[in-house]
Amino acid sequence: MPDIDVVAPNLKRRLSGVTATVVRLIPVQARMIGIVATGPGLPPELPHIPLSRAATLPRDRWRVWHARRNTEMVLGLLLRHVLRRRYRLLFTSAAQRRHKRFTRWLIRRQDALIATSPQAASYLELPATVILHGVDLSVFHPAPDRAALRAELGFAPDDIVIGCFGRVRAQKGVDLLMQAALRLFPDRPRAKLIFSGRVTADNQAFADDLQAQIAAAGLSDRIRFLGEVPWEQVVRNYQSLDLFAAPARWEGFGLTPLEAAACGVPTVAARVGAYETLIRDGETGSLVAREDADALTEALAYWLDNDAARAQAGHSARAHVQANHAIEGEAQAIVQIYRKLLS
C-alpha cells in the first residue's frame, strides 16, 4: 500500500448514499493520491485500513480525515485532539436544511468544507467549495445488448419500463409515483414500473399499503417492488429502463438521475436536491414541482406516449453526463482540496 495521505471513514455498515460515494470515488482518487477508507461495510477490493490503524498512524506528517457524517466528524476530532494524530479535518455536506446546533459546532471545527451543491453550501454558514457529484461512466453505461438484458429480466420488447431506486419511504415520493402509475397504466398496457430499495421496519406499513393499492388495482404484474438488490444488479436494472423517476419530497443531492442518465435513460424528477442542476428540463427529462402528483402524472404521460422523444432524451442525457458529470472531475476537484490542506 502506498503512503497514506487521506483517510475516508465510513462509519455505517449498510449501503447508503454516503457509502456509495466513498465506494465509487476512492478507486478513482487512489490513482491521484494515497487514499484509504476505514470502517465497516465496504467491499474488500477498496483500499482500506482498520479503524485501529487510522487511530495510530505515525505523527510524522499531516494527513486528511475526510468525514461525510456527524459521527465521522466526532471521530476526527477525537483522533486529533485526544489521540494527537496529525489530521486535517474535512467535511462534505449534502444537506439542504439548517443544521442542528451540535452539527454546526462540529462544522466550525473543520479545516475545510465541501458542499455537493450551491443549495447545500448556503446552509453551512461558513465558506465551502462546491463540488457536484459525478458518475463513473465505466460502470454506468448503456447495455451492450439491451434487448438480451431486458429479456433476461423478464421484460417484453415493447414494454416501457420506469424505474425508481432508493429506500422505499415517503421522503422519496414513492407514493406519489405510485399514484401517477395507478392513473396512467390502465390506458397504457406497455408501461411497467419497478421499485428497488430497502424497506426499513419503520416503513413496512407504508410499503404494505402501497402493495395493497397495487393489488386492488390489478397491477401487481406491472408494478413490482424488487427490494434491496446487489450493486451489480442495480446497474443492470438501470440499463434495462426506458425512463427513471425521482419524485422525492426532499433530497440532499440525489445521485440516481445521474446514474440513470449515464445509462442513457431520461428522468422525471421533482425540483429538490441538485436535480435542477443535473436535469435539463425537456431535453434530458422533466422537472416538476415538489409533491405535485398531477404534474408528475402529466410529465410521465408525455414521456410514456412519445417513444422518439424519450429515445432522443436518453441520448442527450448520456451526452450531458459525459460532458459535465464524469466522476474523474469530481475526484480531481476533491484531491485539489486534499493537496491544499496537506500543503
**Confidence (pLDDT) at 264:** 97
**Confidence (pLDDT) at 335:** 98
What is the DSSP secondary structure assignment for residue 256, as one 8-state letter? H
Co-location of 311 and 331 in the same domain? no
Co-location of 70 and 212 in the same domain? no
DSSP β-bridge partners for residue 130? 115
Give the pLDDT band (50/70/90) at residue 135. very high
pLDDT tens, residue by residue, 14-34: 667 788 888 889 999 999 999
Mean pLDDT of the chain: 93
Co-location of 90 and 220 in the same domain? no
**Confidence (pLDDT) at 15:** 61
Number of Cβ atoms within 10 Å of the Cβ of 58? 9
Long-range contacts of 68-73 (CB under 8 A, 24+ apart): 68/18, 68/21, 68/22, 68/92, 69/11, 69/12, 69/18, 70/102, 70/103, 70/106, 71/11, 72/9, 72/10, 72/11, 73/106, 73/107, 73/109, 73/110
Position 252 pLDDT exceeds 80: no
Q: Does residue 141 sit within a domain?
A: no
Co-location of 10 and 42 in the same domain? yes
Co-location of 92 and 189 in the same domain? no
Mean of the pLDDT values across residues 318-331?
A: 94
Any alpha helices (H) in the chain, and if so which ranges?
17-29, 51-54, 70-81, 101-108, 118-122, 146-152, 174-184, 204-216, 231-240, 256-262, 275-278, 293-305, 307-324, 327-342
Domain count across the chain:
2
**Confidence (pLDDT) at 14:** 67
Give the pLDDT band (50/70/90) at residue 256. very high
Position 202 pLDDT exceeds 70: yes
Q: Return the closest-CA partner of residue 69 out of 51, 49, 44, 95.
A: 95
Mean of the pLDDT values across residues 109-133?
A: 93
Mean of the pLDDT values across residues 280-290?
A: 95
Start-to-end C-alpha separation, the chain = 22
Co-location of 316 and 172 in the same domain? yes
Nearest-angstrom CA–CA distance, 268 and 67: 31
Ranking 176-185, 229-238, 280-289 by mean pLDDT, the lowest is: 229-238
**Confidence (pLDDT) at 267:** 98
**Confidence (pLDDT) at 308:** 97
Nearest-angstrom CA–CA distance, 300 and 285: 10
CATH of the domain at 251: 3.40.50.2000
Position 136 pLDDT exceeds 80: yes
Co-location of 168 and 317 in the same domain? yes
DSSP state string for 49-117: --HHHHTS--TTS-EEEEE-SHHHHHHHHHHHHTS---EEEEEEE---SPPPHHHHHHHHT-SEEEESS
Position 342 pLDDT exceeds 90: yes
- Contact partners, residue 58, CB within 8 Å, separation at least 6: none
Position 183 pLDDT exceeds 90: yes
**Confidence (pLDDT) at 17:** 72
Nearest-angstrom CA–CA distance, 193 and 238: 12
Query: Which residues form the domain of 285?
Result: 146-324
pLDDT tens, residue by residue, 35-88: 999 998 788 889 999 999 999 999 999 999 999 999 999 999 999 999 999 999
Co-location of 162 and 294 in the same domain? yes
pLDDT tens, residue by residue, 257-268: 999 999 999 999
Q: Does residue 338 sit within a domain?
A: yes
